[in-house]
Amino acid sequence: MNLRLLCALFVAGTSLAPVAAAEPTSTRTATAPLVAFEVRVVRVYAEPGAVLKAVKPEEGGVAFLSDEQLKALFADAQSDPRANILCTPKVVTSSGEPATVRVGSNREFVTGLEARQVKGSAVLVPKKTVVELGDVLTVCGRVSADRRSVSVSTGYTNTSLASDLVPLVPVTIQIPAVNGGPAIPFTQFLQAPQARTIAIEKKELSLPSNGHVVITGPVTTVEERTEYGPPVLSNIPYLGRLFKSVAYFKREVRTLLVVSARVIEELPVAPAPRSVER
C-alpha cells in the first residue's frame, strides 16, 4: 500500500476536534483606566528657604508644579542636610477605587487596671492599649471622560510618640491578706504615652495626567539632640566620650505632601475564545 492511500485512510477515520476562533480585534471592549500615584513626604525647617518659596506658605495651601519645578524643589530639599524626604511605595489603582498604604508598627502600653473575677474573688489585672505608630497614606483618583485629567483625593497621617521616655504614673492598691491579716499595699506603674499626629488631607484636586501638586501641611515642634566637643579629642574612640557635650534644642518643622498622578491606559482584553465546528 502506497503512502498516499495510508494518509487518506488515516484522515478518513479520524474526527477533528473543534478549533477555537477569537473575536476580531475591533469587537474587543476597553476596560476602566488605571491611575498610578507617586507620593513623597518632605520635611523641612519652617525657616524661610528655597523649598518653602515654591509652595503656599499657609497650612492647607495647594501649589501645582511642572516637571521642571518639581525637580528644582527636590534639588533644593536635597541640598539642605536638615531636610528629610520620605518616598512611599508607588500605588496603581482603578479609577474611583481608593487604596491605602500603611507603614509602621503597633505598640502596647499598660494604661489602666481592669477588675475581673478570678476563682470567686475580684482582682485587678493590667489593661493594655494598642497605639498604631507610623505612616498611613490613602489615595483615590477619578479619571475624566477624555482621560486627560484626574480628580485626586488624598490623606496622610503620621503618628509618633512625643518622647521616647513614656511617663509612668504609680497607682497603689490594697490587696487583702489570705489569712485575715492586714492588707498589703501593691503599686502598679501605669504608662501615659503622648502620641503626636500630623494629618494632611485634600479632596477633589484636578490634576492633568503626569501632573504634580504640593500640599502644605502643619508646623510641628521637634526635639533634636546634638553632640559637640574639641575637634581632635572628641574623635578618639571610647575616650572621646569624656570630651563630648550633649545639647537638646527644639525646632519647628514644616511637612509637605507631594502627589504625582498619571493615567495608565490598560490594554483591552479579548473575550474568551468560542468553539467552531469543522
List, for residues 74-84, the tens digit of each pLDDT value: 888 888 888 88
Give the model confidence (pLDDT) of 200-235 as tens digits.
999 999 999 999 999 999 988 877 777 777 887 777
The grid coordinates listed for 147 are: 482621560
- What dihedral do alpha carbons 237, 239, 245, 251 form, nearest 10°? 20
Q: Is there a domain that residue 77 lies in?
A: yes
- The structural domain count of the chain equals 1
- Answer yes or no: is 21 within a domain: no
Residue 22 lies in a domain: no
How many CB atoms lie under 10 A from the CB of residue 87?
A: 10
Predicted local distance difference test score (pLDDT) of residue 44? 87
The answer as to whether 4 is a domain residue is no
Mean pLDDT of the chain: 80
156 vs 117 pLDDT, higher one:
156
Identify the sign of the CA torsion 68, 70, 76, 79: negative
The answer to whether residue 116 sits within a structural domain is: yes
Q: Outline where DSSP puts E strands in 29-70.
A: 34-45, 62-65
- Of the listed ranges 39-48, 106-115, 266-275, the least confidently predicted one is 266-275
Does the predicted TM-score (pTM) go above 0.85? Answer: no
- Assigned domain for 277 exists: no
**Is residue 61 in a domain?**
yes
Residue 30 — pLDDT band, cuts 50, 70, 90? low
Work out the pLDDT band at 141, boundaries 50, 70, 90. Answer: very high
In a domain, 195, yes or no: yes
- Tell me the residue range of the domain where 123 lies: 34-264
